[in-house]
Structure formats: C-alpha cells, structure tokens
C-alpha cells in the first residue's frame, strides 16, 4: 500500500500553522503531573510494602504489575468498545469529559486503597492501585491526542514533551512527598523499623491524593478554556486485531494468575531447595508472559502482511515494532527506578536504608524531567540563538530544581552534585540528534546500553550515576517512539495510538521479571535486563527508519525541515 508524505504526521492533516491554545494546554498538563507523581511515588511505596508485609523483591514488584497492567486492560476495553460499537468511546464523550471521568475513576481507586489499608491487606492495596491506573489509562488515551490537537500538528510532539516535562516534575517530587508521608521524617529508619510503622499514614496520603483527583476533575469540568474535543468519526474496523489481542490477553491471564498467587508464599519459611523451586516457577511464568507479547505481536504482523483486511493499524510493521518498543521502553523506565532502592541497600552502593533512598529515586525520575524540559523547548516560537541557549540552560536549571527540592526536604544532596556531568553528556547528545526522532532514539538507546553496562561492571558512585542516567536517556524516548510508530498510518492513526497505549503493559511485566532475576543472581547483575531493553530500543530506531523509507517516508528529513 503506497503511503504519501501528507500521511506523515496524523490523519492526513497538513501543517497549517494553527496557534496553540495555551489556556487549554495549561489546564491539560495537570493530569500529566498526577501520572508522574503516583508512578514515581510507587518507587518509594515498593520498599515500604516489602518490609512492612515481609515480601521478597519479586513480590514487592507486584505493585508495578498491578499498576501498569491496568493501563493495558483499560486501553483494550476502549478499543473493544470501538470495535463492537463502531464508535470511539473517548471521541463520543469528548476529550474533556473523558479526562474528567478518568480522574473520578482514579479517585475511586484512592478510596479502595483506603479501604484496603484499613483491612491491612496487600492484595487489596494492589486492587486499589489497579483502579487508580485504570483511570489513568482513560486520561492518557484522551490527553495524548488532545495535546496534539491544541495547535499546529507540526509542534504536537513538543506539546507532548511539555506535558511530559510537567509529568516528570511530578516524578521528581513524588518520591520526596511519599517518603515524608510514609516515614514522617528524613532521619534514617531501618528496614526493621519500617515493618513496625503504622499504615495510618498511607490513609492520609491517599485521602489527599483522592481529594486532588476530585479537585482536578472539577477544574477540567468547569474550565471554559478547555474545548469539549468531541469526535464524530467512526472507528476503523480491525476485528482480526481485536481477536488477536483478546487471545493474547487470555494467555497473559493464564500466565499472570500463578505468578500473582505466588505472592502469598512467605519465602522466609522455605528451605533453600524450596526457594529455588519457587524462583524457577515464577521465572517460568514471567518469561511465558513476555513470550506471549513478543510472539503474539510478531505473528499478528506476519498474518497482516499476508492479508491486511481486518487487521487495521497492525498491518503496518512500524506500528507493531513500535508497540514492542513502547512495551520495552515503559518496562525499562519503571524497572530501573523500582529496583533502585534495593540496589542502594547493598554495601557496594553505600548501604543506604530504604527510608533514605528518596533523593536518589527523585534524581532518577527527575532525570526524565531534565530531558523532557529540554525536549519541550520547540513548542515555543524562539529564534535559533535563543533555542540553542535554552537547550544548554534548561537542563541545568532542571537539575538545580531537583537538587533544590530535595534540599528543602532536608536531604543531603552532596553525593549527587557531580551528577551534572551526566547531564552535560545528555545535552551533547541532544545537539548531535538535532531533533530527529530516529536519530535521537538510536543515540539515546546506545547511551542507555553504555550506562547500564558501566553500572554493572562498577560499584559505588560511578555505578550509581550510571544507573541514574538511565532516566536521562529514557526521557525523550516516548515521543520519538510514538511519532515513528504512527508515521504513515493515515486513517488508522487514532487506532494505532490506542494500541501503543496498551503496551504500557511493559511496566507490569519487565520490573517483576528483573525483580525475580534479582532474587536469583543478585540485584546488581539484574540490571542486564535494562541493558537488553535499551539495546532493543536502539535496534527499533535503526530498523524503523528503513521500514518507513520503503514506504516512501523519511521521517527525520521531514521533521528536520
């Protein structure tokens, strides 16, 4: 099927120079903040639950499993509604109402968390987080295309980056606020002391979070600056893609049930042989879940090539590879941060207590803010010289914000002052990539591999900096992958976007997989998992450029005009 250059950005929309609706954009980015605040806060919540409920590293990662699996289920439900009903539910409600409904649903999840905490049940807390993330799934499905629609399509990626920058501000302060809420002080608390803490602080935390969700919903609902965003377009049919995804979901459910049920086992009561058997059991099912996603999508694409009818967006190889790339990207981004607290506890990394890991976790997630702030500069109309200057200054300002926020929380940031060297490396990488998505993704993917390998073969400050820099190199990947994956999809662009949102599922599979590997070979060596993920992302950047070129699209050349 020949694909024209006009299909490059989205839905055959020409670049018209539409002015950006800054009022609506300003309101919209509040939801980006919530995603980051809660997701990064989980990185502190994980070690808290690990010691309070006496879990192993794998069991603690079920927090990510519940949270990110909800994104997949939510996006799949929206797609299934459109496939059977013939209309996109988000388009029917409109972007504005969809975000409001998503915020209300997340507030219900916060209420479920409070109920579970009162019952002192870890599984109930997982259900609460699942409901919160279901609301996020609806919000994200709406907010991504909504931000692109609020102005010139040519600067749509920059608006997504701007939202990402606000999202990353949430990820920066999330660990600090959650740590202070859970531990109540910046003084060191031992892991044994964590086990004796009261869960009442979790109730206060999620009461505040639920109230913020309701406040944001009211802000959206009553804001006159935010357009309704209703779309009357019919959903493009893709019954074969739907059935393939439903089969894949059924197989994933078969893999997840035994994995989830195994969290009830108290590994401290097992002998070495029983522990080894349990580790093998969990690893088998987790690898099976990973295989279901990889093999399932590849089989779907091969089948679509033979007979495209009924496969919708999945007939495009760039979309299927992009789905895998989003799966891997979200997985590596979450896995590095969620396992960081356990890594820092090791003697080779300073023996830092879980209650004192917050500034490091904040720096990791803040590293994503550094890159996204730099990536959002293009959304503003600036001279070439001003843009050049800001690309140097903004990342350093963002680094200062992270140091300042943690210092205000009375954390000693001395050990992280020289991390600015890693920020300089990222700034150089930005200049070399020259705002070209495929080139940017390739460079940052290779830098991610180099950082993980450096961290694996070193210890102490160098290794910590190397692992933290994974956040710098993840920072700009989402819009690059998203743009390259939907390039040339034309009328299937919206459907392709929904498929990509589903693949946030990677955050529910890859972190537990690394956690299980950590139980087997040690937390330090488990970072080979992120190294492999970055390698795949570099491969995607290389391969997708050739795929698009064969379809008559040179995305980097078009964007660089």
Give the model's pLDDT for residue 379.
62
Asked whether the beta carbons of 475 and 368 are under 8 A apart, the reply is yes
* pLDDT band for position 209 (cuts 50, 70, 90): confident
Angle formed at CA 511 by CA 406 and CA 325, multiple of 5 degrees: 100
Cβ atoms of 329 and 481 within 8 Å: the answer is yes
Q: Decide: residue 421, CB within 10 A, 0-12 exposed, 13-18 middle, 19+ buried.
A: exposed
The CA-based angle 304-307-308, given to 5 degrees, is 60
Rounded mean pLDDT, 61-66: 82
68-125 pLDDT, tens digit per residue, is 888 889 888 888 887 776 677 777 888 888 888 999 999 999 999 899 888 888 888 8
Give Rg (Cα) of the chain: 22
Give the burial string for 96-131 (b: 16+ CB within 10 Å, else e): bbbbbbbbbbbbbbbbbbbebbeeeebebbbbbbbb
Distance between CA atoms of 134 and 535, rounded to whole angstroms? 30
Which of helix, strand or coil describes residue 234? Answer: strand
Q: Is the pLDDT of residue 15 over 50?
A: no
What pLDDT is recorded for position 452?
Answer: 97
pLDDT digits (tens, 9 = 90+) for 310-357: 888 888 999 999 999 999 999 999 899 888 988 998 988 888 887 788
Instruction: Give the predicted TM-score (pTM) of the model.
Output: 0.81
CA torsion, ordered 207, 209, 214, 217, to nearest 10 deg: -170
Q: Closest Cα partner for 478 from 304, 308, 334, 350?
A: 334
Model confidence at 11: pLDDT above 60: no
What is the chain's mean pLDDT, rounded?
A: 81
> What is the mean predicted confidence (pLDDT) over 406-414?
85
Does the structure show a pLDDT above 50 at 8?
no
How much is the average pLDDT of 49-65? 79
Q: pLDDT value at position 5?
A: 30
Q: What is the pLDDT of residue 235?
A: 64
**In this predicted structure, what is the pLDDT of residue 305?**
83
Of 19-28, 390-399, 475-484, the one with minimum mean pLDDT is 19-28
Residue 417 — left, alpha, or beta (φ > 0 → left; ψ -120 to 50 → alpha)? alpha
Q: How far is CA 451 from the centre of its chain?
A: 19
d(CA 294, CA 320) in angstroms, rounded, equals 10
Question: What does the pLDDT read at residue 101?
Answer: 92
d(CA 469, CA 424): 11
Q: How far apart are CA 354 and CA 190, in angstroms?
A: 7
User: Rounded mean pLDDT of 509-525?
Assistant: 87
H-state helical runs in 345-459 = 358-375, 384-408, 420-433, 437-456
Residue-wise pLDDT tens digits, 470-494: 999 998 898 889 889 988 887 787 7
Residue 537 has pLDDT above 50, yes or no: yes
Least confident span in 49-63, 235-249, 403-417: 49-63
For position 463, what pLDDT does the model report? 95
- Give the C-alpha separation, 302 to 285, whole Å: 25
């Amino acid at each position: 099927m020949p694909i024209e250059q006009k299909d490059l950005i989205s839905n055959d929309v020409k670049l018209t120079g539409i002015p950006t609706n800054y009022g609506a954009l300003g309101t919209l980015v509040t939801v980006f903040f919530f995603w980051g605040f809660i997701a990064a806060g989980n990185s502190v919540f994980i070690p808290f639950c690990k010691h309070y409920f006496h879990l192993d590293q794998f069991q603690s990662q079920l927090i990510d499993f519940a949270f990110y699996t909800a994104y997949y289920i939510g996006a799949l439900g929206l797609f299934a509604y459109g496939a059977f009903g013939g209309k996109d539910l988000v388009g029917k409600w409109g972007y504005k109402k969809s975000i409001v409904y998503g915020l209300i649903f997340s507030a219900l999840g916060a209420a479920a968390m409070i109920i579970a905490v009162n019952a002192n049940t870890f599984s109930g807390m997982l259900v609460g987080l699942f409901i919160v993330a279901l609301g996020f799934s609806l919000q994200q499905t709406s907010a991504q295309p909504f931000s692109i629609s609020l102005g010139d399509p040519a600067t749509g990626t920059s608006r997504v980056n701007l939202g990402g920058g606000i999202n990353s501000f949430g990820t920066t302060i999330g660990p600090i606020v959650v740590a202070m809420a859970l531990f109540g002080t910046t003084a060191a608390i031992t892991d044994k002391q964590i086990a004796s803490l009261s869960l009442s602080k979790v109730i206060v935390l999620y009461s505040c979070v639920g109230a913020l969700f309701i406040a944001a919903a009211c802000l959206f609902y009553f804001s006159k600056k935010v357009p309704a965003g209703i779309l009357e377009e019919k959903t493009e049919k893709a019954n074969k893609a739907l059935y393939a995804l439903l089969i894949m979901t059924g197989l994933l459910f078969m893999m997840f049930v035994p994995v989830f049920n195994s969290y009830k086992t108290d590994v401290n009561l097992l002998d070495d042989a029983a522990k080894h058997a349990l580790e093998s059991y969990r690893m088998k099912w987790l690898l099976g879940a990973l295989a279901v996603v990889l093999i399932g999508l590849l089989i779907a694409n091969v089948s679509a090539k033979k007979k495209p009818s009924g496969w919708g967006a999945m007939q495009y190889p760039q979309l299927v590879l992009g789905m895998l790339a989003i799966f891997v990207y979200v997985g590596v981004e979450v896995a590095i941060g969620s396992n960081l607290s356990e890594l820092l506890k090791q003697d080779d990394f300073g023996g830092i207590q879980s209650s004192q890991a917050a500034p490091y976790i904040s720096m990791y997630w803040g590293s994503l803010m550094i890159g996204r702030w730099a990536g959002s500069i293009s959304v503003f109309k600036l001279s070439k010289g001003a843009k050049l200057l800001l690309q140097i200054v903004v990342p350093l300002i963002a680094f200062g914000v992270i140091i300042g926020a943690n210092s205000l929380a009375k954390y000693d940031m001395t050990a992280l002052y020289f991390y600015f060297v890693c920020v300089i490396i990222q700034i150089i990488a930005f200049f070399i990539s020259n705002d070209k998505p495929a080139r940017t993704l390739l460079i940052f993917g290779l830098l991610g591999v180099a950082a993980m390998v450096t961290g694996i073969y070193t210890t102490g400050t160098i290794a910590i900096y190397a692992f933290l820099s994974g956040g710098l190199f993840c920072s700009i990947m989402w819009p690059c992958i998203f743009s390259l994956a939907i390039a040339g999809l034309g009328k299937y662009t919206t459907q392709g976007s929904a498929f990509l949102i589903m693949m946030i599922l990677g955050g529910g599979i890859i972190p537990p997989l690394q956690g299980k590997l950590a139980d087997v070979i040690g937390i330090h060596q488990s970072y080979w998992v992120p190294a492999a993920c970055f390698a795949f992302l570099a491969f995607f950047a290389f391969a997708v450029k050739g795929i698009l070129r064969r379809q008559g699209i040179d995305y980097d050349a078009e964007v660089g005009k």
